[in-house]
Amino acid sequence: MTSALRDDLATITVLARRDLLRFFRQPSRLVGALMQPVVFWLLIGGGFASTFQYAVAPGLGYMQYFYPGIVVMMVLFASIFGTITVIEDRHAGFLQSVLVSPGSRAAVVLGKSLGVSSVGLTQAALFLALAPLAGFTYADIDWATLTAFLVLGAVGLAAFGFALAWITDSSQAYHAVMSIVLLPAWILSGAMFPPGEPGSALASLLHYNPMSYIVSGVRGALQGDARTLAPLAGSVAADLTWVGLFAAASVALATWTVYKRR
Amino acid sequence: MPGEAPLLSVRGLRGGYRKRTVLQGVDFDVARGEIFGLLGPNGSGKSTTFLALTGLLRPDALDLRLDGVLIEAGGREMRRRMGVVFQTPSVDPNLSPREHLALTARLHSVPTDKARARIEALLTFADLADRADDKVKTLSGGMRRRLELARALVHSPSILVLDEPTVGLDHASFERTWTRLTELREREGLTMVMTTHRPEEAARCDRLAILDGGRIVATDTPARLQAAVSGDVITLTARDPSELAAWLKAHLDLDARVTPDAVVIVCERGHALIPRIVEALPAGRLETVNLQRPSLAEVFSHLTGRAFFSAENPA
């Protein structure tokens, strides 16, 4: 192993490990992170259940429709809260010391993205234990596909959040982008409601939104191979390719940003 | 150290931020085993120099040599061989000192058995052995600063770069920090470059560069820089320094500089002037009188024609 590769692997391990250590050491964060999706699912899901009951595929309740959307929301929120701290961490925190250690900038991006996505995936895994309550049986779930979509989606969203934190360099600006871009992208991804008739503005927008591919993949995998609920009609392989490309592009964007604007 | 090639050589450092160029071409050499200071008031460019050296800011131009070999500022080679002490915190409140040192050893690929011994030695050195496993958020400010120093040493760097290492510390902690730094230099032969805005700290350095407006105005040992300013410095404290300065001008024709809490007079034969001032002044006007050789703050004023301390750069 070359010394450069050794340094990069060390940087990735240290940053990922640190995010997990921090997460498990803050009990309040742990409880909040687990309760919030349950509350969202029950309150929003329960509230919209009557409104949406005819819009969703017949025979399926809104609570079941909304459940995969919540899983993706957890990964998205973990990415947002895990990377907004980069702004402070880079000027007055631990990250400063990582930036002057021998690992490359790409390793910093990968390590942080893996740490943040591990936190999001841990939360999602715990929430997935409730899948039977939403009408998905463990035996029918395509776990391999589900994991692939969640891992790639989480890394992509975390790296995107990292780039955003580095570019904006202010939590106010980050919050603005979060409310104007990230949350609407989740709402319009098919996570909360079906996209409507093919050809409609919302339905066409779906194809340009990386989050709809994640939601489609997760929803399809939870159903096993039925995929009647997936907002996008494409094949699993095609969806997974798009999510993979999104993850690669986000990591590349974040790395380029860190190199360019240090 | 004449004759020996410098460990670090900085030439033509220019750079700054997107809309503002700060450094106008900074040159200096740091000899092996030397403590080299960069002294300047806020805005003089010392922090920008720190950021450029550590690779946290990309300079517009810089010819940087380590051991005579041209290297990229803040590049991988530089990052391997340098230890960095930041002015702002670079520790995680939720991790313990031991975890910080272990993670840093990992970041620098220090072999496990070597790291274990080094971490224990550094915990003792930083006087943190009995708090090694407590979370950083439970440590005092002084303990955190000591952890920052210990952490920069885990990989046995050949050069330590420090940004205002004693900022915010009281006098006792300042002294203890300096005892540690000189001990490190003796024991490990460590070379140090530090930025500071404290003249009394700059006076402890082996050599220093005085920065003003993004340029170096002088580089020498503190003693030689101080010798260039002739005369004595008399510092008078009073309840109303500006009123006292006006009185000195009117009655004794003395030109005095007013600082937030004192009046400073630079003159020849200060010991002869003091009795005249004390006798002429009505009783009770003066609080203290102090006579000393010019400090590096006076050297700065002498070189640049401007006061070192101001509202933006308080003492």
Measure CB to CB from residue B89 to each of A26, A93, A101 and give the nearest one.
A93
Measure CB to CB from residue B90 to each of A7, A97, A262 and give the nearest one.
A97
A5: contact with B, CB 8 A cutoff: no
Name the residue with higher pLDDT: B231 or B51: B51
A130: contact with B, CB 8 A cutoff: no
Residues of A in contact with B82 (CB under 8 A): 100
* Closest CA of chain A from B95, distance in Å: 8
* Closest CA of chain B from A253, distance in Å: 19
* Closest CA of chain A from B105, distance in Å: 9
CA nearest to B57 within chain A:
A262
A115: contact with B, CB 8 A cutoff: no
Q: Are the CB atoms for B27 and B215 separated by under 8 Å?
A: no
Name the residue with higher pLDDT: B302 or A219: A219
CA–CA gap between residue A11 and residue A107 (Å, rounded)? 6
Count CB-CB contacts under 10 A for residue B129: 14
User: Which H, E and C letters describe A121-143, residue by residue?
Assistant: HHHHHHHHCCHHHHCCCCCCCCH
Element (H, E) at A120: helix A105-128
CA nearest to B74 within chain A:
A100
For residues B165-188, give the mean pLDDT. 90
- Residue B83, Cβ density class (10 Å: 0-12 exposed, 13-18 middle, ≥19 buried): buried
Indicate the domain borders of chain A.
3-260
CA–CA gap between residue B157 and residue B185 (Å, rounded)? 12
pLDDT at B133: 97
Measure CB to CB from residue B92 to each of A7, A11, A22 and give the nearest one.
A22
**Best interface-test mutation with B: which of A100, A119, A256 has the largest number of B CBs within 10 A?**
A100
Q: Which two tokens stand for residue A230?
A: 């997936």
* Closest CA of chain B from A11, distance in Å: 5
For residues B288-293, give the mean pLDDT. 87
Q: How far is CA B24 from CA B47, B163, B220, B304, in A?
A: 14, 20, 20, 16
CATH 3.30.70 domain position(s) in chain B: 230-293
What is B8-226's CATH number? 3.40.50.300
pLDDT at A7: 95
Q: Inter-chain contact B104–A101, Cβ cutoff 8 Å?
A: yes
- Per-residue pLDDT tens for B179-195? 999 999 998 889 999 99
CA nearest to A107 within chain B:
B107
pLDDT at A56: 54
Q: Inter-chain contact B56–A99, Cβ cutoff 8 Å?
A: yes
Shortest CA distance to B196 belongs to which of B169, B223, B233? B169
Order of strands across the sheet with B262-267?
B257-259, B262-267, B232-237, B288-292
**Fold for the domain defined by B230-293:** Alpha-Beta Plaits (3.30.70)
**8-state DSSP, A57:** P
- Residue A75, Cβ density class (10 Å: 0-12 exposed, 13-18 middle, ≥19 buried): buried
CATH 3.40.50.300 domain position(s) in chain B: 8-226
Q: Inter-chain contact A97–B82, Cβ cutoff 8 Å?
A: no
Measure CB to CB from residue B80 to each of A96, A98, A102 and give the nearest one.
A102
Measure CB to CB from residue A14 to each of B55, B82, B103 and give the nearest one.
B103
CA nearest to A24 within chain B:
B94
Residues of A in contact with B94 (CB under 8 A): 21-22, 25-26
Q: Are the CB atoms for B97 and B150 separated by under 8 Å?
A: yes
Residues of A in contact with B91 (CB under 8 A): 93-94, 97
Residues of B in contact with A169 (CB under 8 A): none
- Per-residue pLDDT tens for B221-254? 999 988 887 788 888 988 888 888 898 888 888 8
pLDDT at A121: 95
**pLDDT in tens for each of the 262 residues of chain A?**
688 999 999 999 999 999 999 888 888 888 888 888 999 898 888 887 777 665 555 556 888 889 999 999 999 999 999 999 999 999 999 999 999 999 999 999 999 999 999 999 999 999 999 999 998 999 999 999 999 999 999 999 999 999 999 999 999 999 999 999 999 999 999 888 877 777 777 888 888 899 999 999 999 899 886 666 666 767 889 899 999 999 999 999 999 999 886 6
CA torsion angle B122 B124 B127 B131 (round to 10): 90
Q: What string of DSSP letters covers chain B?
A: -TTSPPSEEEEEEEEEETTEEEEEEEEEEE-TT-EEEEE--TTSSHHHHHHHHHTSS--SEEEEEETTEEE-TTSHHHHHHEEEE-SS--S-TTS-HHHHHHHHHHHTT--HHHHHHHHHHHHHHTT-GGGTTS-GGGS-HHHHHHHHHHHHHTT--SEEEEESTTTT--HHHHHHHHHHHHHHHHHH--EEEEEES-HHHHTTSSEEEEEETTEEEEEE-HHHHHHTS-SEEEEEE-SSHHHHHHHHHHHH----EEETTEEEEEESSHHHHHHHHHHHSPTTS-SEEEEE---HHHHHHHHHSS-S--SSS--
Buried b (16+ CB within 10 A) or exposed e, B140-174: eebbbbbbbbbbbbbbebbbbbbbbbbeebeeebb
In A40-191 the beta strands, taken as DSSP E runs, fall at none
Is residue B1 pLDDT above 60, yes or no? Answer: no
Q: Are the CB atoms for B68 and B238 separated by under 8 Å?
A: no
Measure CB to CB from residue B94 to each of A26, A96, A103 and give the nearest one.
A26
Residue A47 CB contacts under 8 Å (≥ 6 apart), including other chains = none
Token pair 């391999």 in the structure block, residue: A144
Q: What's the complex ipTM?
A: 0.86
Least confident of A185-189, A206-210, B9-13, B15-19: B15-19
pLDDT at A49: 74
pLDDT at B73: 83
Fill in the amino acid letter for B272.
A
Q: Inter-chain contact A101–B107, Cβ cutoff 8 Å?
A: yes
Is residue B216 pLDDT above 90, yes or no? Answer: yes
pLDDT at B252: 87
CA nearest to B148 within chain A:
A97
- Per-residue pLDDT tens for B57-100? 889 889 999 999 999 888 899 999 999 999 999 999 999 999 99
B31: left (phi over 0), alpha (psi -120 to 50) or beta: beta
